[in-house]
Structure formats: structure tokens, C-alpha cells
Amino acid sequence: MSTPDRHFIDRRGILKSSAAALGGAFIAGEPAEAYPKNVNTNSSPSELKITDLRVATVVKAPFSCPIIRIDTNQGVYGLGEVRDGASPTYALMLKSRIAGENPLEIDRIFRKIKQFGGHARQAGGVCAIEMALWDIAGKVYNAPVYAMLGGKFRDKIRVYADTTESKDPRIYAQRMKERKEVKGLTWLKMDLGVDLVSDKPGTVTVRSDLTKWDMDSIPHPLLGMEVTDKGIALLEEFVAAVREAVGLDVPLSMDHLGHLGVKSIIRLGKAYEKYNLSWIEDVIPWMYTDLLKQITAESPTPILTGEDIYLKEGFQVLCENHAVGKIHPDLATSGGILETHKIGDMAWEYGVPMAMHFAGTPVSCMANVHCAASTLNFLALENHSLDVPWWDSLVEGVEKPIVNLGWITVPAKPGLGLTLNEDAVREHLMPGTGYFEPTTQWDNERSWDRLWS
């Protein structure tokens, strides 16, 4: 029997001695009757242990994407990915905290390390490890990740993608049309910020002393930047041109409006009403629940946020207050596969649908795909790599092209369902870094981690 992973060579022996919770089923090509009579087929491989964690960082302009590999004492390994742009240190610092653990105890390990995550990129290490643990579990149990989450609601995952901007509305509209007609996308997204019109006098009211530090460090409502009627009219020309090019039938979303105040966002939401947008995204930082609720109440265009939120609790506050119309977790930030699945189920209870943010390699992509397949209120998954010609080549074992006319087929192979193409990954490594080189310097990281006295 052929297998998609050369490290599966030890799995048959592993499962003969532990049976891996699949009594009566065929595992690694052999029926349960072939196992020793004293095997408990309801147990998991109790001797499986984590032995190592290593990193290979791919450069996918404009992002760096650290792929992690968790090794075990039985030859089975798991792949995960730190969120785009984040440091691999977020994962490496956790190596000594997971070494020696049984990787199949996913929830227990997650609860042990989740204190080391934080909102946005700071959650990258915890989430990458969680992905890799699911990959290991799927390989050991001979099941795709979606099956271990309760099964799938869909066989293909809808993809949406951003589009290269242009300051000419006609050119921008043509690029959007190509996304629909050439790439086959059935859900479109455009970045439309005030920067596209701010070079024209009278479009944006802004402080003359704003610095890059201000823009990076001070939340939008506190900057004092507002868009004028003239600015709104010029921005509306872009949306009108795009809708004329792609029609009103295809969902159209919008992002990167600019660091504007609450009233400006509401005015834009009203101006865009006739174009029937699916959402405008991250209009102000997600933690301003009352302000988001105000915008949602006054803007006829739906509001979406969530790519920077870590763990379910932040999403629950937004959903139970109906502060946004849709949520948008990034699985590499939100807490990983299971936590994001829980977020979707929670949002379902409040009548809130879930799109998913994603901007990494096919490793993290497939983690998202399994989660999306098994989450009922899922809408669409973002992809930032439609124009990266070598993106598909990083992995093997999955259907290609991975994004095929706007859809990704959910893989049915064990774990995440893919292996790395070593040559392709090596070709696109971040300069000065290696391919899963030893990380012994992180073997003995120790601290008193308990959160209470």
C-alpha cells in the first residue's frame, strides 16, 4: 500500500501495538483481527512522545512564513505554520514545554501552552504547534483532520482573494474582472483605502504631524483622520466601476479603508450601500466593542473583524453584543484548528457567519481547509498567493492546482493531507536560514509558568 509520507514506515508497527482507537476498521491496510488479542482497540498509542521541534522559514513576498515540524519517537511527524510575518521564536520558545508530551493529547498540550499566545502575531507559535499536533494525530489514526473534528459539511472550500490596486478606477475594475473570469473566483475582495485618493486636495482631513509610529501604534479612532465628501465621492467611483465590471451577483468584500474615525466609517458604509458589499473589514480595532456596535447599527454595509483576535472569548464578546455582522478569524492567530472550530460553532449560536483570514503557505492553508470543511457557518477562505507562481510547488500529495477556479478540494488523506517538497522549500527559504536544522539551543528553556500562586 502506498503512503503519502515516507515517515509512515513505522506506523503499522505502532498501530499493531496500540490499535489507535479504530476498533474493527482497517488501519494501514490491515484489519483489526490481525492485531494481537490483548490489544485494547479503544486506546491511543500511549508510548508516542514529542522529541523535537524544528523550523524552515519560507519567504513569500511580502511575508515570511515559518513552517514548523514536530518529530516523535516513532517516526511520525507533524507540520504546522507560524502566522505570516511572525517570528519562529514564538514556536521555538515552546519546544522544551512540549518535549516528552504525547502529541495525541492535543487539548491538554494546548491548555498548557496557550498562555504564551497573544493577539495578532504573538499567537503564532501556539497555533503552529496545535496544527502540527493534529497532523500527527491524523497520521497515527489514519484519518483526515476534518474527520476528527466531527466530519465535513462540504467537499470544496470557496476562496476569495485581494486584488492589486490601481489609482485608476477603470484599471482596478479590469483587474477585478480578471479575478472573476480568469481565476474563476466566486467571491471577490478589493482593498480600497483613502490612500488611493489622498493625493487630491480636499479628500482627507488629517493632522500634519502624523508619523509612521503614530499610524502603527495609535488606534484608528484616536488619530483624528476623517474622509471628506469629496473623498467619499472619489472612492465611490472605484466601487461603481468594479460593480459594473463584475456585476451584482458575485459577493464583493472590502478591506483597508484607512485609519479613519467612527463617523467616517459610517458615512462610507452608507455610500457603499447601493453596491451591496458583503462586508467592510477591520474598520477600527476589534477591541472597541461599543464603537463597532455603533457602526454596525448605523452602517447598512456589514462590518467584519477578527483576524487579530486570539481565543474564543474575544469573538464571543463581539457576537453576543452583535457588534459585527460577520467574524473573520485567522486560524494561525485565533488558537489553531480546534479553537477556530469552536469559534465558528459559538458564532453560529448568535446567528453570525464566519469567513476565514489566511495569508501563508499550503501547510497553514490545509489546516484552514479542514477547519472550514467541518464548520457549519463558514463562508469563504482568503488566499494571498494567487499570483505566486511557485506556491503550489511547496507541497505534494494534494490536488493541484490547489486553488482551482476559486475552490480548494478538501483532502481525504491522513492528517493535513500533504507533505513538503523539500527542493521547492529549500529554494524559497529566507536567506541565512536552514531547512529544519537542529534547535538544541531551545532544549532547556525553563521558567515558572503557572499563572497563579
Residue 445 pLDDT = 82
Mean pLDDT of the region 126-140 = 97
Please answer whether residues 76 and 128 qualify as being in contact, where contact means their C-beta atoms are separated by less than 8 angstroms: no
Residue 173's identity, in one-letter code, is: A
Angstrom distance (rounded) from CA 26 to CA 417:
18
Mean pLDDT of the region 190-216 = 95
Residue with the larger pLDDT of the pair 162 and 111: 111
pLDDT tier at 450, thresholds 50, 70, 90: confident
What CA–CA distances, in Å, run from 101 to 92, 131, 441? 16, 15, 19
pLDDT of 7 strictly over 60: no
Residue 452 pLDDT = 87
Residue 221 pLDDT = 94
Contacts of 328 (CB under 8 A, 6+ apart): 281, 282, 304, 305, 306, 307, 354, 355, 356, 357
pLDDT tens across 310-357, in order? 999 999 999 999 999 999 999 999 999 999 999 999 999 999 999 999
pLDDT tens across 166-175, in order? 999 999 999 9
Residue 27 pLDDT = 38
Residue 44 pLDDT = 55
Residue 86 pLDDT = 94
Contacts of 257 (CB under 8 A, 6+ apart): 192, 193, 194, 265, 268, 280, 283
Q: Look up the pTM and report it.
A: 0.89
**Beta-strand (E) ranges in 282-327?**
303-305, 326-327
Mean pLDDT, rounded, of the chain: 91
**Lowest mean pLDDT segment, chosen from 206-220, 242-256, 266-280:** 206-220
Residue 71 pLDDT = 97
pLDDT tier at 61, thresholds 50, 70, 90: low
Angstrom distance (rounded) from CA 366 to CA 350:
27
Q: How long, in residues, is the chain?
A: 453
Nearest to 70 by CA among 41, 90, 99: 99
Q: Is 315 helix (H, G, I), strand (E, B) or coil?
A: helix
Query: Judging by beta carbons within 10 Å of its beta carbon (0-12, 13-18, 19+), is residue 109 exposed, middle or buried?
Result: buried
Residue with the three cell numbers 498540550: 109
Residue 5 pLDDT = 42
Mean pLDDT of the region 257-272 = 98
Cell of 325: 455582522
Residue with the larger pLDDT of the pair 185 and 447: 185
pLDDT tens across 11-60, in order? 444 344 333 333 333 334 444 443 334 333 333 578 999 999 999 999 98
Cell of 221: 479612532
CATH numbers and ranges of domains, the chain: 1-47 (no CATH), 156-422 (3.20.20.120)
Residue 235 pLDDT = 98
Q: Is 304 helix (H, G, I), strand (E, B) or coil?
A: strand
Angstrom distance (rounded) from CA 284 to CA 450:
34
pLDDT tens across 68-91, in order? 999 999 999 999 999 999 999 999
Residue 109 pLDDT = 98
Residue 46 pLDDT = 82
Residue 352 pLDDT = 98
